[in-house]
């Protein structure tokens, strides 16, 4: 059975942690959390993952299941996430309400910060995450509302100021910041998506879109089995990224 | 030696213009019964320091807040806090918005009576633009990377703090039994005086000593408030009441629902400071 768009996205998220070794794979969003756990179950077995709460688990857990005591290998309350930000050994995949071609992200507010048109979450840990450790992004709806020429409030810092912006996975494509002057670059488009569609839904110029653009790899049979039978039998991934 | 008191007496001890810290995190183990007492009290012009959730929203909705100091305000299962949003979008409250790590260092600095703590978190972001009072500092020691600037996080000194715990004794010792202490003992230590609410007052504690989170040395009063964190979670005593939280979030756009959280009357649920 062919992989759904959501399953391609999960695997593209998982690839963000390839080669990271024994670090915490911190993730926000369904496909991103699934990606972290799938990476651990396949090509990156030393990753640390949580139960979605304060517990590090002995094995990657199915989505939404709390860890039983015998499934727990460590304790990671919020304060230790903040410690990890400065210490390292953590690669976070965050969401963003806005992301610009320099890699700056905004989760704080839309419009003038002093009196916003739309108050969002606040900067959360984005300034520290991006400045101090490797950061990727997961954007479930690739659109011009998200991919803007310039963010309204810099919550996550630019690729030039960051410790290392690794990749941006969206429902359409994979980007990185390997363009001129560390600007956004198209790395691959998902199967069934065209470069034209990605450009139409991106509010700035995208490097790497001119020539031959690779297609994001398909999940392997084993990856699909783990996703469908073990990690997400309820299909929450398809609710985040409809077929 | 007894410090047992009531939510209304705690609220009555606060004064206008205070810096008030509130423990918990988002929509988790918030001292909601104490927050409701503050909402009922005449106090106003508060600066509220919080890893914000419905505590911030309720106080904003009751016109109690002049400034919010927070890294975020969220209901967790509902990303955005509707009453905080309305207060920000109407210009009713000012905001000091710091990175989470900066925020923890602010409490750490205050708890240790330090003038600042250095961190790279915040550099390159608009946190420094949004808070022009922030300064940077350089290490006096040689550094391999040349020793760039660090943010000098100022202490978050609190006039008072409100914290909810699972168990407490009459002397003001507090115990948490859930998976995460959040930053609660830092709020207690950063404050001139901390008030606890608890699910249950006990004569003595069971469980490992590392669950004894807050010491009576920094606690001024303790109130027994069973269910006192609702509708936020207070594990393992109870999880979040998601249905009540949904009604709370919906009440921002539904006056009929508003009385449930804000009482009857024309003042209920106002989002502008008087």
pLDDT of residue B222: 98
A153 interfacial to chain B (CB closer than 8 Å): yes
Contact B100 A113 (CB under 8 A): no
Contact A54 B52 (CB under 8 A): no
- Share the mean pLDDT of chain A: 97
Contact A125 B101 (CB under 8 A): yes
Residue of B nearest to A113 (CA): B130
**pLDDT tens readout for residues B16-49:** 999 999 999 999 999 999 999 999 999 999 999 9
User: Which of B70, B89, B181 lies closest to A122 in CB terms?
Assistant: B70
**pLDDT tens readout for residues A65-87:** 989 999 999 999 999 999 999 99
**pLDDT tens readout for residues A118-156:** 999 999 999 999 999 999 999 999 999 999 999 999 999
Q: How many CB pairs under 8 A join A and B?
A: 121
pLDDT of residue B205: 98
Averaged pLDDT for residues B193-206: 98
**pTM > 0.90:** yes
Contact B100 A128 (CB under 8 A): yes
Contact B80 A82 (CB under 8 A): no
Q: In the 8-state DSSP scheme, what is residue B155?
A: P
Choose, out of A64, A82, A105, the residue to mutate when testing the contact with B (most B CBs < 10 Å): A82
For residue B180, which residues of chain A lie inside 8 Å, CB to CB? 53-54, 77-78
Pairwise CA distance, residues A72 & A58, whole Å:
5
- Share the mean pLDDT of chain B: 95
Contact A78 B85 (CB under 8 A): no
**pLDDT tens readout for residues B98-111:** 999 999 999 999 99
- What is the band of B129 on the pLDDT scale with cuts at 50, 70, 90? very high
B72 interfacial to chain A (CB closer than 8 Å): yes
pLDDT of residue B2: 86
Given a cut of 60, whether residue A162 has pLDDT beyond it is: yes
- What is the band of B271 on the pLDDT scale with cuts at 50, 70, 90? very low
The ipTM assigned to this model is 0.96
3-state SS string for chain A: CCCCHHHHHHHHHHHHHCCCCCCEEEECCHHHHHHHHHHHHCCCCCCECECCCCEEECCCCCCCCCCCHHHEEEECCHHHHHHHHHHCCEEEEECCCEECCCCCEECCEECCCCCCCEECCCCCCHHHHHHHCEEEEEECCCCCCCECCCCCCCCECCCCCCCEEEEEEECCEEEECCCCCCCCEEEEECCCCCHHHHHHCCCCCCECCCCCCCECCCCCHHHHHHHHHHHCCCCHHHHHCCC
């Amino acid at each position: 059975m062919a992989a759904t768009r959501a399953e391609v996205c999960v695997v593209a998220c998982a690839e963000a942690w390839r080669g990271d070794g024994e670090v915490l794979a911190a993730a926000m969003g369904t496909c991103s959390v699934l990606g972290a756990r799938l990476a651990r179950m396949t090509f990156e077995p030393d990753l640390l993952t949580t139960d979605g709460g304060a517990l590090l688990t002995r094995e990657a857990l199915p989505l939404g299941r709390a860890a039983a005591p015998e499934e727990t290998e460590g304790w990671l309350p919020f304060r230790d996430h903040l410690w990890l930000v400065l210490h390292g050994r953590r690669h976070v995949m965050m969401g963003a309400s806005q992301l610009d071609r320099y890699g700056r992200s905004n989760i704080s507010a839309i419009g003038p910060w002093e009196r916003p048109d739309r108050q969002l979450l606040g900067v959360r840990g984005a300034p520290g995450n991006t400045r101090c450790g490797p950061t990727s992004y997961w954007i479930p709806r690739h659109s011009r509302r998200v991919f803007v020429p310039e963010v309204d409030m810099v919550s996550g810092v630019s690729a030039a100021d960051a410790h290392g912006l690794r990749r941006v996975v969206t429902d359409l494509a994979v980007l990185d910041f390997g363009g001129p002057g560390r600007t956004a670059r198209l790395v691959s488009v998902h199967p069934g998506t065209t470069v034209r569609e990605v450009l139409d839904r991106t509010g700035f110029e995208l490097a790497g879109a001119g020539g031959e653009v690779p297609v994001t790899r398909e999940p392997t049979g084993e990856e699909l089995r783990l996703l469908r039978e073990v990690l997400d039998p309820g299909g929450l991934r398809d609710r985040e990224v409809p077929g | 030696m007894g410090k047992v008191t009531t939510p209304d007496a705690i609220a009555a001890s606060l004064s206008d213009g205070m810096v008030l810290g509130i423990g918990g995190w988002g929509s988790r183990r918030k001292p909601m019964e104490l927050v409701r007492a503050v909402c009922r009290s005449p106090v106003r012009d508060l600066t509220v320091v919080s890893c914000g959730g419905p505590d911030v929203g309720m106080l904003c909705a009751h016109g109690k807040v002049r400034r919010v100091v927070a890294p975020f305000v969220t209901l967790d299962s509902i990303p955005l806090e509707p009453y905080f949003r309305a207060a920000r979008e109407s210009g009713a409250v000012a905001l000091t918005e710091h990175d989470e790590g900066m925020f923890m260092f602010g409490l750490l600095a205050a708890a240790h009576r330090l003038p600042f703590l250095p961190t790279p978190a915040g550099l390159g972001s608009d946190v420094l633009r949004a808070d022009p009072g922030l300064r940077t500092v350089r290490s006096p020691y040689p550094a391999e990377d040349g020793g760039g600037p660090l943010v000098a996080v100022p202490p978050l000194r609190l006039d008072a703090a409100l914290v909810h715990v699972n168990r407490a004794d009459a002397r003001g010792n507090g115990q948490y039994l859930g998976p995460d202490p959040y930053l609660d003992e830092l709020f207690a230590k950063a404050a001139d005086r901390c008030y606890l609410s608890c699910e249950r007052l006990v004569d003595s504690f069971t469980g490992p000593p590392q669950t004894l989170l807050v010491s009576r040395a920094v606690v001024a009063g303790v109130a027994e408030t069973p269910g006192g964190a609702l509708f936020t979670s207070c594990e393992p005593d109870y999880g979040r009441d998601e249905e009540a939280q949904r009604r709370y979030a919906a009440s921002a756009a539904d006056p009929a629902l508003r009385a449930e959280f804000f009482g009857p009357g024309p003042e209920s649920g106002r989002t502008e400071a008087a």
